[in-house]
């Protein structure tokens, strides 16, 4: 089989048994965004699950795509619906603030902090009550942590800010991230773990994420997250919010980074029965070989015409399923509260009694 060069980055292979396949290699910039471990996980997910995990689309220039989407469509403005996270944090403030009677101070551990915008008012309220020990921003994307730091330290110059790159799907949060120097101080400080922006809906392995949160928590700690409640299969097919604008941005980004030509693919959004989620997929119109041959890698992924690669997913929960998943992880739901727009919900959990 003879390769036929088309341009500097792609080749066409052809023989009788194997129709033409366009061979592409990601850009050098792409390789520079990921650690070796992340690249291996990404390649495996492409190979075995036909998925480019969404978490990796927040890295590198992906951070700007998120922040631009956020600034344009999510930051509260008088002419658009209020930001759900801000509304729900406000609505649940008394509950969150009153729930750790044994402790005088709290650490806010914001997992998947993004640009930290949603927590601004919430932190400000806690700060006025003298409650905050420190704010800890954790995110898979260093670029978003940099943005979070710039925002947070401008808003709250006197609150201690710590940050670290971290993948909540991969491991629990190491305690040294929040621990103070003396055991006595630590006893008096509870942690509030935030996982906002409906991020739980996007993970490949939600149960693992709940488990990792549980393994990070002590008896006075809370986990606070948002999600949408409803049946995924009854999606009305109307494309809006993140499913429209964030997805459009990452579709273009992935095509560019992976050198996939626009004529060779299309973006398809649909209900996916296998994952019981709404997904956005790149559908290929011709055979492709994604080749990873830099940084000591040597992997070729064959994608056939009409195959799809998922680049975004969103899973709404039905309430009984959510409670079951929390219980499976050793967590118990202690409070939940709907937004006035009904489907978004804020969920507050503690360690299950059996875990204390
Ligand atoms: C939907 S955005 C939400 C950002 C912010 N919490 C908000 O409500 O605006 C998801 C954020 O979580 C981060 N993220 C996604 N998957 C992650 C993971 N497995 N571990 C840590 N951070 C993750 C992304 O980089 C991004 O900043």
pTM, two decimals, is: 0.93
Report, as an integer, the average pLDDT of 229-258.
95
Cα separation, 254 vs 246, in Å, equals 12
Cα separation, 111 vs 5, in Å, equals 45
Nearest CA to ligand 1 atom 18: 167
Ligand 1 atom at minimum distance from 114 CA: 27
Structure-token pair, residue 276: 């019981």
Of residues 343 and 128, more confidence is placed in: 128
Digit-coded pLDDT (tens) for 171-188: 999 999 988 777 767 778
**pLDDT at position 89 over 80:** yes
**pLDDT at position 4 over 70:** no
At 56, the pLDDT band (50, 70, 90 cuts) reads very high
Closest listed residue to residue 224, CA positions, set 322, 138, 345, 327: 345
**pLDDT at position 245 over 50:** yes
Q: What is the pLDDT of residue 145?
A: 98
Of residues 343 and 106, more confidence is placed in: 106
The helix or strand, by DSSP H or E, that contains position 21, with its residue range, turns out to be strand 21-24
Is the CB of 141 inside a 6 Å radius of any atom of ligand 1?
yes
| CB distance 108 to 136 below 8 Å | yes
Q: How does the average pLDDT of the chain come out, rounded?
A: 91
Site to probe by mutation for ligand 1, drawn from 58, 83, 120, 346 as the one with most ligand atoms within 8 Å of Cβ, is: 58
**pLDDT at position 120 over 80:** yes
Report, as an integer, the average pLDDT of 157-179.
95
**pLDDT at position 17 over 60:** no
Digit-coded pLDDT (tens) for 285-344: 999 999 999 999 999 999 999 999 999 999 999 999 999 999 999 999 999 998 777 689
Q: What is the pLDDT of residue 332?
A: 97
Start-end of H helices in the chain: 28-33, 36-44, 62-69, 84-91, 93-98, 120-128, 142-155, 183-187, 206-216, 241-257, 319-328
C-alpha dist (Å) from residue 185 to 129, 131, 178: 18, 14, 11
Closest listed residue to residue 140, CA positions, set 246, 31, 33: 33
C-alpha dist (Å) from residue 280 to 11, 26, 162, 266: 27, 21, 34, 10
Is the CB of 284 inside a 6 Å radius of any atom of ligand 1?
no
Report, as an integer, the average pLDDT of 66-93.
84
At 18, the pLDDT band (50, 70, 90 cuts) reads low
């Amino acid at each position: 089989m003879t390769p036929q060069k088309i341009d500097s980055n792609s080749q066409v292979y052809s023989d009788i048994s194997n129709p033409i396949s366009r061979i592409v290699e990601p850009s050098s910039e792409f390789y520079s965004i990921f650690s070796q471990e992340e690249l291996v996980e990404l390649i495996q997910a492409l190979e075995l699950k036909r998925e480019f995990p969404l978490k990796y689309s927040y890295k590198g220039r992906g951070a700007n795509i998120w922040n631009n989407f956020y600034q344009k469509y999510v930051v509260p403005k008088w002419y658009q619906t209020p930001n759900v996270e801000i509304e729900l944090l406000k609505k649940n403030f008394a509950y969150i603030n009153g729930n750790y009677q044994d402790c005088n101070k709290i650490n806010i551990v914001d997992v998947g902090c993004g640009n930290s915008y949603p927590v601004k008012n919430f932190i400000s309220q806690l700060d006025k009550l003298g409650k905050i020990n420190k704010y800890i921003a954790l995110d898979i994307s260093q670029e978003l942590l940099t943005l979070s730091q710039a925002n947070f330290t401008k808003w709250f110059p006197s609150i201690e800010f710590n940050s670290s790159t971290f993948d909540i799907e991969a491991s629990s949060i190491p305690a040294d991230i929040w621990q103070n120097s003396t055991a006595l101080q630590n006893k008096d400080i509870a942690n509030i773990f935030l996982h906002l922006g409906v991020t739980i809906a996007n993970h490949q392995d939600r149960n693992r994420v709940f488990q990792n949160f549980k393994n990070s928590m002590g008896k006075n700690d809370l986990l606070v997250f948002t999600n949408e409640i409803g049946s995924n299969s009854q999606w009305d097919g109307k494309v809006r919010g993140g499913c429209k604008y964030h997805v459009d941005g990452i579709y273009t980004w992935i095509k560019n980074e992976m050198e996939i030509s626009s004529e060779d693919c299309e973006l398809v959004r649909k209900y996916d029965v296998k994952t019981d989620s709404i997904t956005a997929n790149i559908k290929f119109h011709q055979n492709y070989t994604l080749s990873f041959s830099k940084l000591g890698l040597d992997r070729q992924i064959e994608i056939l015409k009409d195959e799809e690669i998922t680049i975004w997913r969103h899973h709404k929960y039905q309430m009984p399923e959510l409670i079951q998943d929390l219980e499976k992880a050793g967590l118990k739901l202690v409070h939940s509260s709907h937004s006035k727009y009904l489907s978004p919900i804020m969920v507050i959990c503690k360690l299950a009694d059996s875990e204390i």
